[in-house]
Chains A and B, each alone.
Chain A
Amino acid sequence: MAEERIGVFVCNCGTNIAKMVDGAAVVKAATEMPGVEVACAYKYMCSNPGQELITRDIRDHGLSRVVVAACSPRMHEGTFRKAVERGGINPYFLEMANIREQCSWVHDDPAAATEKATALTRASVQRVTHHQPLEKRSVPMCPATLVIGGGIAGLTAALELADADQQVYLVERQAQLGGNVARLDLTAPYLDSARDLLRDRVTRVTRHPGIQVLLESQVVGLQGFVGNFRPTVKIGTGELLHLEVGSVVVCTGYQEFDATRVRQYGYGRLPDVITSFELEAMLRRGKVETRAGKTPRHVAVVHCVGSRSREFHPYCSRVCCMTGLKYANEIKSAIPEAYVSNLYVDMSAFGKGCEDFYKRTAEARTIFLMYEKNQAPEIRLAGTDPEGGMLIAMKERLSGEEIEIPSDLVVLMVGMEPRRDSDEVARLVNISRDKDGWFIESHPKLDPVATTTDGVFIAGACQAPKDIPDSVAQARAAAARILAKIHQGMIAVDAVYAEVLEAHCSGCRVCNELCPYTAIEYDEVARRSHIISAACKACGCCAAACPSGAIQARHFTDQQIFAQIEGVL
């Protein structure tokens, strides 16, 4: 190997690094390191003049390798790679020494910190000698999209994509489209009909030439990687359909909380304790009545069933508050002489139009009764006759009184929970779930629809409890992300990935199951594993696990890492 000419650039990061690390001392030590041609410190290396310094030195000193001792590579590796590239050498001939997050920010002894910064810099200098030129590649993007779930989010995403002249496969497990919204009567807070909301979407989706609707179907496999997924769908007839798509939108929604789990509500035991979805069905039929067919005079709506509790789900289901108010309005218009009580923990009227809705509902003489979280009301029969009405006992917080509420019909506002099979779906499309079982987005604020798997997006209530407007917004956001990629036509693939040296591979398949990105395929004929570079995230699991040492992670070769270790010691 020819002698490398290395440049070391030490960043002071204003005072962030300088206050604890003596940049001049690091520079002085660096100049004495083998191969170092030039070393200097600068106030802000990431600034334009800082980058300029690097590119100029590469040209002026004919540098072949660059070390930047600055912040975490997560912060500015991309910046400096570009600077290095502008200087005329391969961008992967850069190595960063993190002397901020891992040094100046966490130490309080300047002398020791400077010594550590020097060691980290030396490690980088030794490592960078072994860097190899890597090339970024790109793969073609298949413009078709697979949408999993035909609820309001799935319908919206499908329409958005198909209206942009892209092919969509919409897979729905049930025999009809619409999902949970199809079970609703009106929607809060404007009391628009859910049926009307859906009808137009469903009609357009079924008639759209760009959308292939697969009812009573299920995605059973997903191979490939961003831009080039190969899903397998089991359709109604039982046969398997093999598709090719570039992106996947998961819109699998939620299921309602099982009300029998809250014992003291007596659901399943008391005939006139029903869930919100059962009331929706009554409202859709146009008749609210008790099991015995009587018109209820006192209706109680119990909020937070299964939500915001120690015992069941700690989170808020977000839609129940306004839905509960909606019931007060709907029941009052169906049965004007009825009294409706809302038993709540907190009233969340955060959405647009919701505060007004709350006010109007209160003015319509809805009774609001506040109960303590984790101290849920208890429902029992008023007498011995199961049709003789019920009494709800609770401690009312705003008055401090123990009260009994006479009720003929009790509606339980069952919360949202992840679908029973959400872990299966997560594994299938290779995304992760949070502690409650909801799918995790790439960034909670800045990247709400992407996931850790490129090309797989999530929208709607499968990500977290969500109302219709938010689900629709997410679906459209996911479609926009996909259309942007389709527009680019190609997908850039990072040059850093793992590869199998097939001659050394014994075909043991240890790596196949370990790969968190399902990037490893097994060739049954050759009996060798193979890594799809576009799907690989270079996490290194496979390389570490391979008993034959047959897997090499590019840019993280053994040689590079050993050099780095030696340097730091």
Chain B
Amino acid sequence: MAVRMNPGLVDDLARYGADDVTKCFQCGNCSAACPFSQDPFIFPRKPMRYLQMGLEERLRSSLEPWLCYYCGECSVECPRGAEPGETMMSMRRWLTAQYDFTGLSRLFYRSWKAELLAILLVSLITGAGFLTFGFLRGGGDLSVYDGPGAFLPAGAVHVFDWTMGGALLALLLVNCLRMWRFTMGGERRPRVPAGAYLRHLLLLPWHFFTQKRYAECGEKRPWATHLVLMLSYVTILVLVMFFLRDLQFGPEIRWSVHALGYVASIGLITTASLAIRGRLKKDAPYHKHSHESDWAFLVLLVFVASTGVVQHVLHRAGLPTAANVAYLVHLMGVVPMLVVEVPFSKWSHLAYRPLAMYFARLQAEALAARAGRPAPEPKPQLAT
């Protein structure tokens, strides 16, 4: 069955950052340079060809963009300056938009103005909402931070967190299901037995928590930075979701959660700042190109982490009014960050990348089984 070409695909992807893909003349140096490119997933060359030709359906069903951690080797080796690394990055943005059924992701990625507007809007609504809530249903007194009369009581915020978290997770799950349908469905794909899904399930947490595959890229530093950032983030997320009461508790401090919180905050601010500095200085191939969504993600992270620290310091310094104001500002950062980033933007790669690694392994095995040969020896980091 012939595939219909969409000549506009290249133009579309350019909105996601893939500016240079048309320079590619398919020599394949990128795939030779890539430490992960391995049968049956040859990249960046193959997905780049799909993109050049406008084979939209083929690109949408490709797992390859997620198998790349963007070490930038390919871009260094490319003789035409086609920036395969950044092209793969753009494909991940495009795929994120494709997986998202609401169309918001597409809107945000293609227009930084829309994204900024959404962030500001959510931020203002959040601020106004919590302010109203604090005066009408909370303690009503901006000078009380902790205890029973707190302006923003931990219990109420906790309920809000879980409600919002649940909604965002549901959106993300739907998008993940769409990803599964695009990449694992269709007659071109080999049928993967249910048992295989179960057998390799551990790949998901393995890739999520170790990002071991990233460590196989030539340099170790980007992997370490990325891992610390991710683990810090997850730590704080867990603390907020499960131990908000202990965090907001006062006047005495609950060191069990705070010790972890301090370490994670330092880790998050340091690594996010390092990433911002790297992108500003363009100090590595993977920092050469920055899409607006990259900036939004990093700036929000640093903003949220630092306002979190500030409100905590003000609280401990005995300045409850200032602490409450800082808390409001913090929430005005956290909520839009999560609402925009989790299901619609860069944050979602926390889910898509491990999923892709998992799916890739299943496909490789199923393809091998179909061809009647043993599954290709996976690169060590793909093993369970």
Contacts and interface: CB of A to CB of B under 8 A. Distances in A.
A359 B80 contact: yes
Contacts of A368: 25, 52
B22 A366 contact: yes
B4 A403 contact: yes
Contact of A362 (B8, B14, B25, B53): B25
B283 interface: no
A368 B3 CA distance: 16
Interface in B31-66: 46, 49-50, 52-55, 58
Contacts of A393: 2
Interface stretch (A285-293, A394-402, A418-426): A394-402
Interface in A345-401: 359, 362-369, 393, 396, 398-399, 401
A405 B5 contact: yes
A262 to B, nearest CB: 20
Contacts of B11: 365
A534 to B, nearest CB: 56
A406 interface: yes
Nearest to A394: B2
B27 to A, nearest CB: 10
Contact of A399 (B1, B8, B50): B50
Contacts of A298: 7
B111 interface: no
A567 to B, nearest CB: 65
Instruction: Give the interface residue-count category, chain B.
Output: 20 to 34
B23 interface: yes
Contacts of A362: 22-25
B26 interface: yes
A369 B55 CA distance: 12
A341 interface: yes
Contacts of B26: 398
A568 B87 CA distance: 78
B3 A365 contact: no
Contacts of A404: 2-5
A401 B55 contact: yes
A341 B3 contact: no
B58 A401 contact: yes
B40 to A, nearest CB: 13
Contacts of A364: 22
B53 A402 contact: no
A339 interface: yes
A403 B55 contact: yes
Contacts of B20: 363
A405 B26 CA distance: 20
Nearest to A405: B5
A358 to B, nearest CB: 8
B10 interface: yes
A301 to B, nearest CB: 13
B7 A341 contact: yes
Nearest to A393: B2
Interface residues of A, number: 22
A339 B53 contact: no
A396 B49 CA distance: 10
Contacts of B53: 367, 369, 396, 399, 401, 403
B295 to A, nearest CB: 26
Nearest to B55: A401
Nearest to B28: A398
A145 B5 CA distance: 56
Interface in A399-415: 399, 401-406
Interface string B155-166: 000000000000
A14 B8 CA distance: 70
Given A359-B23, A399-B50, A399-B53, A367 B10 contact: yes
B336 to A, nearest CB: 35
B7 A406 contact: yes
Nearest to B80: A359
Nearest to A401: B3
Contact of A398 (B4, B5, B14, B49): B49
Contacts of A401: 3, 53, 55, 58
A428 to B, nearest CB: 47
Given A396-B53, A403-B55, A365 B23 contact: no
A362 B81 CA distance: 12
Contacts of A366: 22
A402 B53 CA distance: 11
Contacts of B24: 362
Nearest to A369: B53
B198 to A, nearest CB: 33
Nearest to B54: A367
B4 A406 contact: yes
A194 B4 CA distance: 37
A399 B55 contact: yes
B50 A365 contact: no
Contacts of A398: 26, 49
Most chain B beta-carbon contacts within 10 A, residue among A368, A399, A404 = A399
Nearest to A340: B7
B45 to A, nearest CB: 9
A366 B2 CA distance: 21
Nearest to A395: B2
A399 B3 CA distance: 12
Nearest to A339: B7
A365 B5 contact: no
A364 B22 CA distance: 8
Nearest to A397: B26
Nearest to B25: A362
A273 to B, nearest CB: 18
B91 to A, nearest CB: 15
A367 B80 contact: no
A376 to B, nearest CB: 15
Nearest to B24: A362
A53 to B, nearest CB: 61
Given A341-B7, A359-B23, A365-B22, A403 B2 contact: yes
A407 B26 CA distance: 24
Contacts of A369: 53
Contacts of A396: 53
Contacts of B25: 362, 368
Nearest to A366: B22
Contacts of A363: 20, 22-23
Nearest to B52: A367
Contacts of B5: 341, 367, 403-406
A362 B26 CA distance: 12
B117 to A, nearest CB: 27
A392 to B, nearest CB: 9
A366 B55 CA distance: 15
Interface in B227-271: none
A362 B260 CA distance: 53
Contacts of A405: 5, 7
A401 B61 CA distance: 15
A30 to B, nearest CB: 65
A368 to B, nearest CB: 7
A345 to B, nearest CB: 15
A398 B49 CA distance: 8
Interface of A: 298, 339, 341, 359, 362-369, 393, 396, 398-399, 401-406
24 contacts: A298-B7, A362-B22, A362-B24, A363-B22, A365-B11, A365-B14, A366-B22, A367-B5, A367-B10, A367-B53, A368-B25, A369-B53, A393-B2, A396-B53, A398-B49, A399-B46, A399-B50, A399-B55, A401-B3, A402-B2, A402-B3, A403-B2, A403-B53, A406-B7
Query: 8 nearest interchain CB pairs?
Result: A339-B7, A402-B2, A404-B2, A399-B49, A404-B4, A398-B26, A405-B5, A365-B22
Given A363-B22, A404-B3, 14 more contacts: A341-B5, A362-B23, A363-B20, A363-B23, A367-B22, A367-B52, A367-B53, A367-B54, A369-B53, A399-B50, A402-B2, A403-B55, A404-B5, A406-B4
